[in-house]
Amino acid sequence: MALFAQFLLRLAFGLAACMATVSPQWVASGYFRNHLYVTLGLSAMASLLLGSLGSPGLTAAIIAAVASYAGAVCWLYEMPRAGRTLLVVVAIAALTAAWQSDAAPTSDEAASLAAASEAGGSGAASEWLNAAAPLTSGLVLGAAMAAMLLGHWYLNAPGMQLAPLRRLIALIAGAVALQAIVCGTGLALAASGAQSFDMPTWSMIAGRWAFGLLGVAALAWMARETLKIPNTQSATGILYVAVIGSFAGEMLSLMLSAQHGYPL
């Protein structure tokens, strides 16, 4: 359940942060209002899980949920400045909760990091990577989700400009690149240390990279090219697959990281 709470918080952070980059001058307020209810549900579920586990981060998760509701109300009454401010509050609170709940390593993580230290591994590098992982992982999840949801919004308002969707697709590519750097560094450190990966672990790593990083990057490129036609409906379908790939990839990454102590 701790891993699921971490996943929910990362998604809530990324979705709120990426929505905050979308200009309300180009996109109707309903996009922000409706999908703040999504961050509300994500944060509320994470709060329940953290509370049942007695994990840190509960207060920040509750703040994210409350700010999500307040933000939705602001967008309902056409107050974009306050609404965007609360999107930032949601993102900061959810990311803080993710950091706090991820601060205490599991027994597997502690054993892996201890073995790496004995073998000359860098504990400082591990700390930096594990601190960066919620940020980069959340951006991958949130950018894919925000872009897919915005693509659906074009079905309601086909006359909207394509610039906001193009920017979110570019954000997907940037987030994937950052996450690849973090996870690639973690993989190199784990493989060069005292740890040895068995075949099932290598299979999980291969699937995580194929679907969650390379696949998502390829799908983002396909969606960008599709918008040149332009065909927002087809691009949205491609982004839907990118969301599935990002979800699968980041869940695999969380499970691998819990086992080996490094973001993989």
Going by the DSSP 8-state scheme, the letter that residue 214 receives in this structure is I
Q: Which residue shows structure tokens 């090219």?
A: 225
Contact 149, 35 (CB under 8 A): yes
Nearest in space to 190 (alpha carbons), one of 247, 109, 104: 109
Task: List all residues 6 or more positions away from 197 whose beta carbon is below 8 Å from its beta carbon.
Answer: 190, 191, 205
pLDDT of 120 reads 46
Task: List all residues 6 or more positions away from 252 whose beta carbon is below 8 Å from its beta carbon.
Answer: 204, 207, 208, 212
pLDDT of 81 reads 97
Going by the DSSP 8-state scheme, the letter that residue 211 receives in this structure is I
**Which two structure tokens, joined as six digits, stand for 70?**
């307040």
- Parse the chain into domains and list their residue ranges: 1-104, 106-264
pLDDT of 118 reads 47
pLDDT in tens, the chain (264 residues): 899 999 999 999 999 999 999 999 999 999 999 999 999 999 999 999 999 999 999 999 999 999 999 999 999 999 999 999 999 999 999 999 999 998 755 555 555 555 554 444 556 778 899 999 999 999 999 999 999 999 999 988 888 899 999 999 999 999 999 999 999 999 998 888 766 788 999 999 999 999 999 999 999 999 999 999 999 999 999 999 999 999 999 999 999 999 888 999
pLDDT of 60 reads 98
